[in-house]
Chain A
């Protein structure tokens, strides 16, 4: 007798538990307000990107076309992937002293893992991460960037 009871109990349990699951999917079927999909390329304007999002290393320039990088190459040493190459040059200052200065801040976006160690290491806080995330390009060469703008110079010592 007990086994018969167990038999029907199993059937009942099966049906009721399956029905419960169906109720949940059914619930979402009739509640389209709960849909989470974001229509990405269309909602570009309303997209929420947190401001700390690490998208790409940039070297900010101010309105005088001046940046903060002294060319000390600490970031280059700290990058685990070798995505940074700092090329420096010797210049002669007006006072006649020889000085090392940044020539090219080469950044290989294709090698970068956005770990943020270069930003962490930079003693001048010269570089930061931008929020850009649409990095795909058709030509790999575009991914190698020179971050200092032509003609830019080092911001003169902190005023």
Chain B
């Protein structure tokens, strides 16, 4: 066990955990931020996506000891009022079915749009390919991302 001081959603938080613990479980079990989801645990599904600085990363593959000073943003901290352009676009398109994969989809999409505010369809597909949606909401996700790109560019 070791102590870590983490910057999560703009707040500094202390945890005492095994240094190998993936951030996914630090968030879910220790910080009670359960919006970040467990899907596979082996970097295959994207359900656990969070932002490390500005980058979308898979928190199931990120040991708490590797985080250091970098800030972490989870779905709970993406916006204060649930009004990030990507969240708004998701509401508008009524994207979700079960909803379980969507935090990961939203976190990946929001980091991607920051890098590439005007993506083509192919760029969207490439960027999002690591996020599985078992319910099959892919066509709506793509629409919502295009929509979000126009909201934030407006």
Asked if chains A and B come from one complex, the reply is no
